[in-house]
């Protein structure tokens, strides 16, 4: 036997592939891979670019890459840990206070900012109320930027002065946009932006004042991770570190569910392409048995014959994968163009990773579904040139189905990145395949008996199925499972939309009232009844902090991984009522007595999920 050099073998494989390019099975192989790679690449780019856009938007929502937030000022060591690492720092102090003017007073949300604020995004302001916006800048010392509704509430104009505590500030611009405007109840009051250099002169912040201190940080991701690790272990009970994942939790969850749904749709496309690849590869191998036998007669070894056809398959797969990646990239560009009005204005390019992942998905599908049928070409006996009835020894069924399952598992894991979901889908698919395959074989055997007395046309039409029952059952099962997967994707789509809509109840409130004084409570409730408003009962709220459970510090009882960790890292909203509020139900214990007993500590009720996370 002669041993061809590798380059000669590659040249021979290329010549044969070009010669067979018009064969139907080669075209089916090419376009099946093209569709699989294009679908996987397009969905990969769409998810990656959308996720990148949301991350950028989330950074803007925080006005920084990382935020150290607490109800007390950060320690000097915590600031030094960031500045010594070269991170850019900005300080923000937020509180609620009364703004006074000659015409009256108005409860307002006041934010004191440093010169570097914001580190992400831009402030926007206007020279006149409801005028054109101008990005950038910030109030200088002695100045204040206010929202237009504060001017309307107090009957003032720009250039007038307001008093914040003991400090008089001159209003110079109308504040129109803050990147990190918080979405809590206290953000509903008119906004005042002042320079942090004037904060001490106001004298507003006193012991016990409700204040939020936010230290903003911007820098390289690795440096931010080092800073987080340096300060996280020494955080006070009232301090938290926020990044884009914490500040964008709801958007991130919705995006994750949408990305998983898109990956499921991509999996269906890859499955369909895989079935087409397996069927066309079987036909491709069957048509090249004679050519393989002739090459064996001309001196090619068994391994070289197998290598020749594997090289042809690799060349075909590489061209189809590259074309599919280009098509998928163009498809996602068109998709973003169609959704331009619904998406953020700045969308990152996505890089080359989704294209490489799509190409890898196509090549893995090709190897898993096409190589097992081609393995027979290496075992064709040279004597087949004289005796056409000689067939190669078929590959082991374990090899054929094992390779396909392994490739399918790799693709599932790549698309879902969830081993539990991958094993669940593979296990459920195997069980369904075994059950349905057994029913199909029983049905074909029953069909053979029914066709004994049937007309000739029926026996001729169904004879091919009965002649190769395993192949017929396999093909029917493959397409049946694909149709089942498509139906599953359609079902998940409806459920996904329903879950998104169900996150907001139909009777969710759209107006909130707070800071109602005791003597205003009854007139306010009467006014609600007059306008037929559906409202929750009025109840008092006061901030408090959980410090001990059974005389033990709560920090020692609640781990960082527990869902109750956030409850001990912030102020809790405490309220009280003599009767159990409507819509609430007791899961354990009894409602307290009225009046409460004098012996023993006062009673308290805790929400069920919070009690479980705190192990109460």
Write out pLDDT tens, residues 163-184.
999 999 999 999 998 888 765 5
| Domain-embedded: residue 149 | yes
Task: Say what the pLDDT of residue 251 is.
Answer: 54
In this model, does residue 529 exceed pLDDT 90?
no
Within 13 Å of residue 109, how many CA atoms lie on the same side as its CB?
18
In this model, does residue 102 exceed pLDDT 60?
yes
Token pair 């500040």 is at which residue? 247
In this model, does residue 227 exceed pLDDT 90?
yes
Highest average pLDDT, of 5-14, 301-310, 313-322, comes from: 313-322
Task: Say what the pLDDT of residue 521 is.
Answer: 86
pLDDT band at 456 (very low <50, low <70, confident <90, very high): low
Task: Say what the pLDDT of residue 482 is.
Answer: 67
Q: Is 207 helix (H, G, I), strand (E, B) or coil?
A: coil
**253 vs 24 pLDDT, higher one:** 24
Joined tokens for residue 247: 């500040």
Mean pLDDT of the chain: 79
State the pairing for strand pair 552-553/133-135: unpaired
Domain boundary among 393, 417, 441: 417
| Domain-embedded: residue 456 | no
Q: Is 280 helix (H, G, I), strand (E, B) or coil?
A: helix
Please state, in angstroms and as integers, the Cα–Cα distance from residue 31 to each residue in 24, 40, 364, following that order. Answer: 11, 14, 16
| Domain-embedded: residue 280 | yes
pLDDT band at 489 (very low <50, low <70, confident <90, very high): low
Same domain membership, residue 95 and residue 37: no
- Host domain of residue 145: 88-218
pLDDT band at 562 (very low <50, low <70, confident <90, very high): low
- Read off the pLDDT of each residue in 382-393 and give the average, rounded to a whole number: 65
- Read off the pLDDT of each residue in 176-201 and give the average, rounded to a whole number: 80
Task: Say what the pLDDT of residue 380 is.
Answer: 72
**572 vs 468 pLDDT, higher one:** 572
Same domain membership, residue 260 and residue 186: no
pLDDT band at 99 (very low <50, low <70, confident <90, very high): very high
Joined tokens for residue 362: 């196509």
Please give the Cα distance from 128 to 158 (Å, whole number): 8
Same domain membership, residue 410 and residue 275: yes
Highest average pLDDT, of 244-258, 357-371, 556-570, comes from: 357-371
Q: Are 362 and 414 in contact (CB under 8 A)?
A: no
Same domain membership, residue 172 and residue 48: no
Q: Note if the bond before 454 is cis, omega within 30 degrees.
A: no
In this model, does residue 139 exceed pLDDT 90?
yes
| Domain-embedded: residue 108 | yes
Please give the Cα distance from 405 to 442 (Å, whole number): 24
Task: Say what the pLDDT of residue 503 is.
Answer: 62
- Read off the pLDDT of each residue in 53-73 and give the average, rounded to a whole number: 81
pTM of the model: 0.61
Give me the number of domains the chain comprises.
3
| Domain-embedded: residue 391 | yes
| Domain-embedded: residue 94 | yes
In this model, does residue 91 exceed pLDDT 90?
yes
Task: Say what the pLDDT of residue 111 is.
Answer: 93
Task: Say what the pLDDT of residue 78 is.
Answer: 92
In this model, does residue 561 exceed pLDDT 60?
no
- Read off the pLDDT of each residue in 595-603 and give the average, rounded to a whole number: 76
Task: Say what the pLDDT of residue 392 is.
Answer: 62
Task: Say what the pLDDT of residue 533 is.
Answer: 83
Please give the Cα distance from 464 to 459 (Å, whole number): 9
pLDDT band at 61 (very low <50, low <70, confident <90, very high): confident
123-127, 290-294, 322-326, 555-559: least confidently modelled range: 555-559
In this model, does residue 460 exceed pLDDT 70?
no
Task: Say what the pLDDT of residue 249 is.
Answer: 53
Same domain membership, residue 154 and residue 98: yes
Within 13 Å of residue 146, how many CA atoms lie on the same side as its CB?
29
Task: Say what the pLDDT of residue 551 is.
Answer: 83
Domain boundary among 366, 392, 417: 417
Same domain membership, residue 299 and residue 188: no
- Read off the pLDDT of each residue in 89-115 and give the average, rounded to a whole number: 90
Closest alpha carbon to 202 in 214, 211, 194: 194
Task: Say what the pLDDT of residue 244 is.
Answer: 72
- Read off the pLDDT of each residue in 235-243 and give the average, rounded to a whole number: 83
| Domain-embedded: residue 536 | yes
Token pair 């809590």 is at which residue? 184
Task: Say what the pLDDT of residue 140 is.
Answer: 93
In this model, does residue 196 exceed pLDDT 90?
yes
**6 vs 34 pLDDT, higher one:** 34
Same domain membership, residue 339 and residue 261: yes
Please give the Cα distance from 418 to 259 (Å, whole number): 13
| Domain-embedded: residue 67 | no
Same domain membership, residue 180 and residue 49: no
Same domain membership, residue 408 and residue 329: yes
Task: Say what the pLDDT of residue 465 is.
Answer: 63
pLDDT band at 568 (very low <50, low <70, confident <90, very high): low
Same domain membership, residue 412 and residue 300: yes
Please state, in angstroms and as integers, the Cα–Cα distance from residue 473 to each residue in 263, 277, 431, 529, 568, following that order. Answer: 28, 18, 15, 69, 60
Task: Say what the pLDDT of residue 89 is.
Answer: 94
Same domain membership, residue 49 and residue 94: no
Task: Say what the pLDDT of residue 606 is.
Answer: 87
Please give the Cα distance from 594 to 545 (Å, whole number): 25
pLDDT digits (tens, 9 = 90+) for 391-437: 665 555 556 566 666 777 777 776 665 677 667 766 777 787 778 77
Please give the Cα distance from 68 to 319 (Å, whole number): 51
Highest average pLDDT, of 284-293, 297-306, 426-435, 597-606, comes from: 597-606
Same domain membership, residue 325 and residue 376: yes
In this model, does residue 250 exceed pLDDT 60?
no
Domain boundary among 167, 202, 218: 218
């Amino acid at each position: 036997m002669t041993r061809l050099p590798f380059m000669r073998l590659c040249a021979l494989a290329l010549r044969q592939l070009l010669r067979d390019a018009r064969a139907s099975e080669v075209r089916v192989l090419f376009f099946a891979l093209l569709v699989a790679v294009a679908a996987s690449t397009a969905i990969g780019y769409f998810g990656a670019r959308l996720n990148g856009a949301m991350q950028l938007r989330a950074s803007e929502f925080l006005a920084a890459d990382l935020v150290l937030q607490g109800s007390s000022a950060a320690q000097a060591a915590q600031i030094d840990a960031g500045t010594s690492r070269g991170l850019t720092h900005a300080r923000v102090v937020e509180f609620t206070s009364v703004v006074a003017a000659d015409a009256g007073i108005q409860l307002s949300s006041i934010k004191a900012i440093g010169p570097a604020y914001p580190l992400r995004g831009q402030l926007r302001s206007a020279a006149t109320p409801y005028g054109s916006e101008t990005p950038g800048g910030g109030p200088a010392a002695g100045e204040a930027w206010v929202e237009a509704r504060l001017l309307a509430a107090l009957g003032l104009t720009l250039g007038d002065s307001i008093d914040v505590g003991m400090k008089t500030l001159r209003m110079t611009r109308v504040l129109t946009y803050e990147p990190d405007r918080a979405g809590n109840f206290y953000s509903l009051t008119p906004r005042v932006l002042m320079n942090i250099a004037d904060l001490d002169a106001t004298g507003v912040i006193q012991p016990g004042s409700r204040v939020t201190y936010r230290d903003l940080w911007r820098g390289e991701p690795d440096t931010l991770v080092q800073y987080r690790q340096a300060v996280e272990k020494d955080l006070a009970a009232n301090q938290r570190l926020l990044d884009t994942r914490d500040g964008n939790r709801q958007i991130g969850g919705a995006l994750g569910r949408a990305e998983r749904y898109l990956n499921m749709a991509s999996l269906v496309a890859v499955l369909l392409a895989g079935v087409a690849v397996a069927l066309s590869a079987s036909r491709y191998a069957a048509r090249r048995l004679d050519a393989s036998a002739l090459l064996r007669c001309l001196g090619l070894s068994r391994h070289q014959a197998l290598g020749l056809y594997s090289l042809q398959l690799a060349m075909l797969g590489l061209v189809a994968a590259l074309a599919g990646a280009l098509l998928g990239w163009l498809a996602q560009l068109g998709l973003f163009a169609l959704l331009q009005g619904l998406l953020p204005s700045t969308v990152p390019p996505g890089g080359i990773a989704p294209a490489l992942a799509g190409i890898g998905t196509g090549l893995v599908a090709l190897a898993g579904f096409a190589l097992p049928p081609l393995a027979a070409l290496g075992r064709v006996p040279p004597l087949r040139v004289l005796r056409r009835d000689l067939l190669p020894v078929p590959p082991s069924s374990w090899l054929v189905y094992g390779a396909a399952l392994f490739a399918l598992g790799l693709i599932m894991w790549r698309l879902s990145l969830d081993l539990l979901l991958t094993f669940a889908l593979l296990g459920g698919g195997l069980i369904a395949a075994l059950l349905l395959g057994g029913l199909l074989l029983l049905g074909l055997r029953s069909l053979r008996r029914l066709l004994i007395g049937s007309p000739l046309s029926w026996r001729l039409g169904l004879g091919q199925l009965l002649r190769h029952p395993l192949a017929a059952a396999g093909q029917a099962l493959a397409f049946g499972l694909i149709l089942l997967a498509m139906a599953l994707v359609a079902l998940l789509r409806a459920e996904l939309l329903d879950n998104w809509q169900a996150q907001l109840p139909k009777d969710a409130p759209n107006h909130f009232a707070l800071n109602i004084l005791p003597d205003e409570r009854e007139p306010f409730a009467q006014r609600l009844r007059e306008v037929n408003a559906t409202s929750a009962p009025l109840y008092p709220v006061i901030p408090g902090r959980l410090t001990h459970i059974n005389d033990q510090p709560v920090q020692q009882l609640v781990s960082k991984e527990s869902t109750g960790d956030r409850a001990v890292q912030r102020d809790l909203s405490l309220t009280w009522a003599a009767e159990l509020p409507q819509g609430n139900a007791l899961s354990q214990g009894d409602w307290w007595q009225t009046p409460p007993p004098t012996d023993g500590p006062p009673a308290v009720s805790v929400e069920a999920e919070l009690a479980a996370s705190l192990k109460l």
